[in-house]
């Protein structure tokens, strides 16, 4: 009954896995009972309710084990956006943070939340500089933390950037935060399910996750809240998620989150090596076949294996590149999902590469992609540039 994902691809080549990924059939299988006969409200005390409650609590235990956290530190949400909103607003309203340090290359889930707090005078905001290779300038971060003292500060910096793939060292940022007693939130949406985590030994107060980025369902997210901090809910209502997140739980989403993370962890070595080899192969082919191609970010250094951000020389043809790729059955994006299909330019690329004569395209990969697809892409690009 469950078709292989490859059969569903038809002739299209999907290279926008940082935007979202297809649901793994094994994840769907784990979710199905909760979409069918196990439909009870987890808050109901009779057997139907107890069954779905068990599904949620088993998922929580499994996620906690896979990330090396306590089950009490794991909260299920509707996705990365809600998780980051909860953490950032909680840090300001409940933990006394009056200053926020972030970066200009964060996802809008962070940037717009921080801007909202700034506009309402609930916190002041400073932005850490971005180095030419797209990394956060840690020296500047230290300076900003020092300048902000004695104000209580929230540092919100993402783990892997969704557009260029650059990875920020959570331990280095966490150590600086510790030195200045700052709260540290990291948007880890692009790394949960892609990189191993050991939260008991990682100096963060909040991290976030989103199941649809690693072959789980959309609308199922994770918020990790370290046991040493306590915030109030972002969504008020019933007492679900131990009074942290009101609303009847998305049981099948939560079960799907846990199953997708379990599979991702099991397959990590194989999948990451394979996907990295595709990224490196594509980069080498592009360099060989297309003169003038450059890569944005630290693509071959401290970078996520799932993302390759490529700049093509600007021309009348290349300005229409995303649309032309789409017409040729190739799905890629100019940046985050909100800018897919439109060449609006990306706030991330602009933060460190202001060359107006280039067109940036993000290719992002999953285990379903193949070397043949990379070859086809390069052949198409040769015609479209
Ligand atoms: N943060 C990053 C880095 C992302 O890539 C995304 C996905 O678009 C989000 C946050 C938002 O996650 P969600 O779609 O689960 O709200």
Size of the chain, expressed as the number of residues it contains: 385
pLDDT of residue 345: 77
Residue 338 appears among annotated catalytic residues: yes
Cα–ligand 1 centroid distance for 217 (angstroms)? 13
210 lines ligand 1 (CB under 6 A): yes
DSSP E strands in 47-123: the ranges are: 74-77, 99-102
H or E stretch including 223?
Answer: strand 221-225
**Distance from C-alpha of 372 to C-alpha of 11, rounded to nearest angstrom:** 12
Query: What is the CB neighbour count within 10 angstroms for residue 242?
Result: 9
Q: Which residue's C-alpha comes closest to atom 8 of ligand 1?
A: 19
Say if residues 172 and 138 touch (Cβ distance below 8 Å): yes
Nearest CA to 83 out of 252, 257, 311 is that of 257
Question: 17 C-alpha vs ligand 1 centroid, how far in Å?
Answer: 12
- What is the rounded distance in angstroms from the CA atom of residue 183 to the CA atom of residue 215? 31
From first to last of its 385 residues, what are the pLDDT tens digits of the chain? 444 454 445 689 999 999 999 999 999 999 999 999 999 999 999 999 999 999 999 999 999 999 999 999 999 999 999 999 999 999 999 999 999 999 999 999 999 999 999 999 999 999 999 999 999 999 999 999 999 999 999 999 999 999 999 999 999 999 999 999 999 999 999 999 999 999 999 999 999 999 999 999 999 999 999 999 999 999 999 999 999 999 999 999 999 999 999 999 999 999 999 999 999 999 999 999 999 999 999 999 999 999 999 999 999 888 899 999 999 999 999 865 544 444 457 999 999 988 888 999 999 999 999 999 999 999 999 999 9
108 lines ligand 1 (CB under 6 A): no
Tell me, what's the pLDDT at 7? 40
Supply the pLDDT for residue 338.
46
Q: Is 80 in the pocket of ligand 1 (CB under 6 A)?
A: yes
* Distance, first Cα to last Cα, the chain: 42
Q: Is the CB of 253 under 6 A from ligand 1?
A: no
The predicted pLDDT at position 317 comes to 87
State residue 337's pLDDT score.
55
CA of 268 to the centre of ligand 1 (A): 21
CA-CA-CA-CA torsion sign (325, 330, 335, 340): positive
The CA-CA-CA angle for residues 274, 275, 279, to 5°, reads 120
Query: Which residues sit opposite 308 in a β-bridge?
Result: 363
Phi, psi of 197 (to 5 degrees): -125, 145
259 close to 52: Cβ distance less than 8 angstroms: no
Q: Is 109 in the pocket of ligand 1 (CB under 6 A)?
A: yes
User: 307-343 as b/e, with b when 16 or more CB fall inside 10 Å?
Assistant: bbbbbbeeeeebeebbebbeebebbbbbbbeebbeeb
pTM, full prediction = 0.95
Atom 4 in ligand 1: residue holding the nearest Cα: 189
Rounded CA-CA distance 45/68 in Å is: 30
The dihedrals phi and psi of 206, each to the nearest 5 degrees, come to -140, 135
- Residue 268 · residue 196 · CB < 8 Å: yes
> Per the omega criterion (within 30 degrees of 0), is the bond before 150 cis?
yes
Indicate the pairing of strand 221-225 with strand 153-156.
unpaired
Please report the pLDDT score of residue 9 as a whole number: 54
Task: Give the pLDDT confidence score for residue 298 in this predicted structure.
Answer: 98
Q: What is the distance in A from the centroid of ligand 1 to the CA of 265?
A: 20
Of ligand 1's listed atoms, the one at least distance from the Cα of 109 is 10
SS3 294: strand
Strands 330-331 and 13-14: parallel
């Amino acid at each position: 009954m469950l078709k292989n994902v490859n059969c569903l691809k038809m002739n299209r080549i999907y290279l926008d896995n940082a935007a979202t990924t297809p649901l793994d059939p094994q994840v769907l299988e784990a979710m199905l009972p909760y979409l069918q006969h196990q439909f009870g409200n987890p808050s109901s005390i009779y057997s139907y309710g107890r069954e779905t409650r068990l599904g949620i609590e088993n998922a929580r235990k499994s996620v906690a084990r896979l990330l090396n956290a306590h089950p009490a530190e794991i909260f299920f949400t509707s996705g990365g956006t809600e998780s980051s909103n909860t953490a950032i607003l909680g840090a300001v309203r409940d933990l006394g943070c009056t200053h926020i340090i972030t970066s200009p290359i964060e996802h809008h889930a962070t940037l717009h939340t921080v801007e909202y707090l700034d506009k309402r005078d609930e916190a002041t905001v400073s932005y850490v500089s971005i180095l030419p290779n797209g990394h956060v300038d840690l020296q500047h971060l230290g300076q900003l933390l020092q300048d902000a003292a004695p104000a209580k500060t929230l540092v919100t910096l993402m783990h892997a950037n969704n557009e260029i793939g650059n990875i920020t060292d959570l331990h280095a940022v966490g150590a600086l935060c510790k030195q200045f007693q700052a709260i540290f939130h990291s948007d880890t949406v692009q790394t949960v399910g892609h990189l191993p985590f050991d939260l008991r030994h990682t100096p963060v107060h909040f991290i976030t996750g989103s199941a649809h980025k690693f072959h789980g369902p959309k609308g199922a997210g994770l918020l990790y809240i370290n046991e040493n901090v306590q915030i109030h809910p972002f969504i008020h209502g019933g007492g679900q998620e131990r009074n942290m997140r009101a609303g009847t739980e998305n049981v099948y989403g939560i079960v799907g989150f846990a199953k997708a993370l379990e599979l991702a962890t099991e397959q990590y070595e194989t999948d990451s090596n394979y996907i990295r080899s595709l990224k490196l192969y594509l980069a080498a082919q592009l360099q060989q076949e297309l003169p003038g191609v450059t890569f944005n970010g630290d693509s071959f250094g401290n970078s996520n294996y799932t993302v390759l951000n490529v700049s093509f020389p600007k021309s009348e043809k290349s300005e229409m590149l995303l649309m032309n790729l789409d017409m040729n059955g190739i799905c890629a994006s100019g940046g985050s999902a909100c800018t897919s299909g439109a060449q609006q330019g990306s706030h991330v690329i602009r933060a460190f590469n202001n060359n107006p004569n280039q067109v940036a395209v993000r290719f992002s990969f999953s285990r379903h992609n193949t070397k043949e697809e990379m070859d086809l892409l390069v052949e198409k690009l040769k015609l479209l540039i």
